[in-house]
Each structure stands twice: as C-alpha cells, then as structure tokens.
C-alpha cells in the first residue's frame, strides 16, 4: 500500500492490534496460570503415528442443532460422509475432530468466553475451535486440516506426504483456512495468536477465523507467524465449464488441475447459479445447490477421475 493511501483508520487499527498483542504478552508473563498454559503447549511431545504410511486429513465437525447455513443436520452429515469417501479414494486416512478435542486445549474456555462476548455465531465458534483441536493433536510432525466441504483433486496421499515435509505453517488457500498443513509448533503458535486477536477493536466486518487469519497475516510478518507457504492452489467452487454437454455443465480439466475444490456455501449457491457450473443432478430444483453439495461433490470426483486424472501436467510437489 502506498504511503499516501494509508488511512488514519488503518493506522489506528494497526496500533490497536500491536498494542493488544503487547498487552497479552505482558499478561502472559505476569499470570502464573497463563504461563502454565503456554508451557503446556510448548512442552507437548507428539506421539508417533503407527500402522499406516498414509497421511491423515483432519476436519472439525460438531453438529449445530437444527442445521445451519442452508443445510439440515442430515445435509451436513451427508457432506461429511462424502468428504471421508473422497479423501479415502485419494489415498488418505481421515480424522474427525470435535468439541471434545478442542476442550483439551488449556485455553478453550478463554477462547469460548471471548467468542461469546463479541457475539460470534454457533457455526463460526466451531470454526475457531478447530484451531485448538489441531494445536493439541498429537500427530507426529503436526498435521493436515481441511474444511469438510473441501474435496481433493490432484492432492493424493503420496503428494500429501511430500508437501508435509516442509516445516512451519502452510496454507494453499491464503487466508481462507480450507487446506492447511502445519508442524506442531505452527499450530500452537497460530492458535495462540488467534485467541489474542478475537476482539471488536480491530474493525473486522465480521469476526470469523478467516477474517482473523487475514488480519494476522496483514499486520504481522510471516516470520512472526511461522508461515512458510501462503498461496492459492485450489478451485473455488466446481471446476466446471458453463458449456453444456448432454448432461449439463462439463468438468474443465484445466480448472481442475488444482490440489482440490472448495465447495463453500457461496461458491455452490449464488455463484454457481450465476456461473452455471453446477454438476447435473436429475430433479434438482433451483436453490438446492448448498443442500445437495454431497451428491454434487461425488459427481465431480467421478468426472475428474474419468476425464482428467493422469491427463496433462500434474500439480508439482513445489506448490
């Protein structure tokens, strides 16, 4: 950003952010309880994984009673089941993290209280909790995490093992926390900063883990964050062309040459209706795009395997 375009508001936010983190660090150094919690995180030793050479993809799933975000409870469960099936087919094992896992983190109640204080929704509280669950996970060398609406394309288990060798915190969707790998220290560091940054003082349009992660990346250096990779290598929504075949939109192998596809609420709802790139499902009605993501995701993966896999250049391990 050029000097003349920096607004007073942005400067105030930056100063507030730096001041708040400095205050948190001061309190950490003077609070016995907080010091104990930080030592707990730093001293935790991961246990070696046994019995499998496959990488493990984790996601966080905790039911919101009555459903949410355009889907019923059963719709969310269907999406989770499709997610598990997709990763298994690509050579991965899967792990489902829950609130029980997040509660193992010594600062769970601190985060929960802060989220309630600023009025974060039940769904978005769960998005924050997943950071704590990953921070206390005992997987050797850290671990992978994705949204359960993120489906693999070129990201095979073999490639996953290769990408995981790089240390630090790595995001393949920049500030959108939909596909991440971090070593143990990386998860601990980011989750700790995430707790510190839950505040109305920073002028976020909405307090979600995505906006907080962006805030951290905007105002701290990658060295301070422990970030070693921060880029975009995913399809936002279905990698389909609006050109219709006999059975609706067709998969575009060039668009699908990504690590995976993030089938977010907006990407498969309003945006998909606008772009006309939703896989054909017989009998599907307008407005059902979000609800029927599970079916559509499995169709996408079938089309990818039949028409795109092993054709053209694969995504390299340098991504």
pLDDT in tens, 168-204: 999 999 999 999 999 999 999 999 999 999 999 988 8
Say how far apart CA 66 and CA 61 lie, in whole Å: 15
Q: At what angle do helices 184-196 and 32-43 cross, to 10 degrees?
A: 150
- The residue that leads in pLDDT, 19 or 220, is 220
CA distances from 39 to 32, 167, 241, 282, 312 (A): 11, 21, 51, 56, 49
The pLDDT score that the predictor gives to residue 21 is 55
Q: Domain for residue 202, yes or no?
A: yes
Residue 35 has pLDDT above 70, yes or no: no
Binning pLDDT at 50, 70 and 90, where does residue 17 land? Answer: low
Strands 240-245 and 248-251: antiparallel
Q: Domain for residue 188, yes or no?
A: yes
Q: Domain for residue 92, yes or no?
A: yes
For the chain, give the mean pLDDT: 83
Q: Domain for residue 1, yes or no?
A: no
**135 touches 105 (CB < 8 A):** yes
Q: Domain for residue 250, yes or no?
A: yes
**All residues at 6 or more sequence positions from 255 whose CB lies less than 8 Å from its CB, including other chains:** 235, 239, 240, 241
Q: Domain for residue 42, yes or no?
A: no
Could you write out the DSSP letters of every residue in 184-202?
HHHHHHHHHHHHHT-SGGG
Binning pLDDT at 50, 70 and 90, where does residue 246 land? Answer: low
From the number of C-beta atoms within 10 Å of its C-beta (0-12, 13-18, 19+), residue 271 rates as middle
Q: Domain for residue 316, yes or no?
A: no
Say how far apart CA 91 and CA 24 lie, in whole Å: 42
The pTM of this model reads 0.83
Instruction: Specify the number of domains making up the chain.
Output: 1
Residue 127 has pLDDT above 60, yes or no: yes
Domain span including residue 292: 53-311
Q: 286: which DSSP letter?
A: T
Q: Domain for residue 9, yes or no?
A: no
Residue 316 has pLDDT above 60, yes or no: no
Report the CATH number at residue 149.
Answer: 3.90.550
């Amino acid at each position: 950003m050029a000097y003349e375009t920096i607004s007073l508001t942005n400067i105030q936010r930056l100063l507030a952010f730096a001041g708040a983190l400095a205050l948190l660090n001061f309190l950490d150094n003077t609070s016995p309880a907080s010091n104990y919690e930080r030592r707990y995180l730093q001293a935790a030793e991961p246990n070696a994984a046994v019995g499998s050479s496959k990488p493990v993809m984790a996601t966080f799933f905790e039911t919101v009673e009555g459903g949410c975000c355009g889907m019923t409870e059963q719709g969310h469960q269907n999406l989770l089941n499709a997610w598990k099936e997709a990763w298994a087919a690509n050579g991965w094992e899967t792990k489902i993290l829950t609130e029980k896992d997040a509660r193992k983190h010594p600062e769970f109640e601190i985060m929960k209280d802060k989220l309630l204080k600023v009025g974060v929704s039940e769904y978005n509280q769960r998005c924050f909790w997943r950071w704590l669950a990953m921070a206390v996970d005992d997987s050797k060398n850290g671990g992978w995490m994705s949204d359960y609406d993120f489906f693999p394309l070129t990201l095979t288990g073999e490639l996953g093992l290769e990408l995981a060798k790089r240390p630090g915190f790595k995001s393949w969707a920049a500030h959108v926390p939909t596909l991440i790998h971090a070593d143990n220290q990386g998860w601990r560091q980011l989750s700790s900063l995430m707790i510190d940054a839950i505040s109305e003082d920073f002028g976020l349009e909405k307090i979600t883990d995505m906006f907080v992660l962006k805030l951290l990346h905007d105002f701290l250096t990658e060295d301070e964050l422990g970030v070693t990779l921060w880029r975009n290598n995913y399809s936002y929504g279905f990698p389909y062309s609006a050109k219709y075949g006999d059975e609706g939109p067709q998969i575009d192998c060039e668009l699908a040459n990504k690590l995976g596809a993030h089938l977010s609420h907006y990407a498969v709802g309003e945006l998909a209706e606008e772009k006309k790139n939703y896989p054909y499902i017989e009998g599907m009605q307008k407005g059902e795009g979000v609800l029927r993501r599970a079916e559509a995701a499995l169709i996408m993966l079938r089309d990818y395997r039949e028409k795109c896999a092993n054709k053209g250049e694969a995504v390299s391990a340098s991504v």
